């Protein structure tokens, strides 16, 4: 995902430079079409050529001075007909010291958001949280702490010790909103996010399982390599033999090995997760080494 976003950002940068250069060519043609500028420019070119052949340096300098004076008379200067890079760091290449230059960061983030469909899939941001509407003071205090913790967590993804986050609890307690906010903060930092419902994930894994072996790597690529994977509403998908459990396990295992972060939301209790998905998946989600379970309960915030 990130490579695709980088390619899009650099392509837009190249297109913008090409447009600027075309504009300069048009402006140059317009300037040189002015009769006395055209004449002075012709004499300057001839003098430069003669100097190169026979060493007429003084004549070239005089012709150049006359040319510049004529340009100034019409309100122009030589630099008006020259392309000047707008970025002093990368000279408009988009790359600085082997990394994406800051001058194309906004285009990169925009492309990444589009590729990840983040506006549609994760519309809720940390800034959207309004704790004052929560009537239960304990619930309000707990959510505030969670938001503070995960705001800082999102700023460090994927370089965090806790790689797997499981949000469990009753419906409507804010699990999906919190996951969405984390995803939005992560992508604003230029990190890639794959955000899907459990049903979508299950369907994608079924399509992968039934695809030719040669295609499976590309189908799994974004799920395995995104800096953050969010699977929302685990437990709402049907359990498919040879698909649901083995592919979820495969993705979790691959992401753990790569040091990447996964967030899962569910209304299921930990006991029901163990019963539905088996010990191997549960052990990855409950590992004290690299996972943490957050139980978010309270009143349904949608009914407040």
pTM of this prediction?
0.82
Confidence band for 256, pLDDT divided at 50, 70 and 90: very high
Q: Are 282 and 274 in contact (CB under 8 A)?
A: yes
User: Which residue, 268, 119, 131, 251, is CA-closest to 195?
Assistant: 119
- Alpha-carbon distance of 293 to 289, in angstroms, equals 12
Instruction: Quickly list H helices, 155-264.
Output: 175-188, 198-209, 213-225, 244-258
Q: What is the pLDDT of residues 228-247, one digit of tens each?
A: 999 999 999 999 999 999 99
Instruction: Please give the mean pLDDT across all residues of the chain.
Output: 91
Confidence band for 304, pLDDT divided at 50, 70 and 90: low
Q: Are 222 and 1 in contact (CB under 8 A)?
A: yes
Sign of the dihedral defined by the CA atoms of residues 16, 18, 20, 26, in that order: negative
pLDDT at 276 over 90: yes
pLDDT at 160 over 70: yes
Domains of the chain: 2-104 (no CATH), 117-303 (3.40.50.300)
Residues 6+ apart with CB under 8 A from 82: 24
């Amino acid at each position: 995902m990130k490579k695709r976003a980088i390619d899009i950002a650099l392509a837009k940068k190249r297109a913008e430079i090409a447009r600027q250069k075309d504009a300069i060519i048009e402006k140059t043609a317009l300037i040189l079409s002015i009769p006395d500028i055209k004449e002075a420019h012709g004499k300057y070119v001839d003098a430069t050529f003669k100097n190169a052949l026979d060493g007429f340096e003084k004549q070239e300098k005089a012709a150049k001075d006359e040319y510049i004076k004529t340009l100034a008379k019409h309100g122009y200067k030589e630099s008006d007909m020259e392309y000047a890079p707008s970025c002093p760091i990368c000279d408009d290449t988009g790359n600085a010291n082997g990394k994406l230059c800051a001058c194309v960061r906004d285009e990169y983030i925009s492309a990444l958001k589009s590729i990840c469909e983040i506006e549609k899939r994760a519309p809720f941001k940390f800034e959207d949280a309004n704790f004052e509407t929560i009537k239960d003071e304990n619930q309000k205090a707990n959510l505030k702490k969670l938001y503070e913790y995960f705001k800082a967590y999102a700023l460090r993804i994927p370089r965090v010790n806790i790689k797997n986050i499981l949000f469990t609890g009753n419906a409507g307690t804010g699990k999906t909103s919190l996951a969405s906010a984390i995803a939005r903060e992560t992508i604003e930092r230029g990190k890639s996010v794959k955000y899907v419902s459990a049903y979508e994930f299950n369907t994608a894994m079924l399509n992968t399982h039934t695809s030719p072996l040669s295609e499976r790597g590309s189908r799994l690529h974004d799920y395995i390599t995104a800096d953050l994977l969010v699977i929302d509403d685990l437990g709402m998908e049907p359990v498919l033999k040879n698909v649901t459990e083995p592919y979820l396990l495969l993705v979790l295992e691959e992401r753990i090995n790569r040091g990447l972060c996964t967030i899962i939301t569910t209304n299921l209790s930990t006991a029901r997760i163990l019963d539905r998905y088996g010990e191997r998946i549960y052990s990855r989600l409950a590992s004290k080494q690299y996972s943490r379970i957050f139980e978010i309960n309270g009143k349904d915030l949608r009914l407040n």
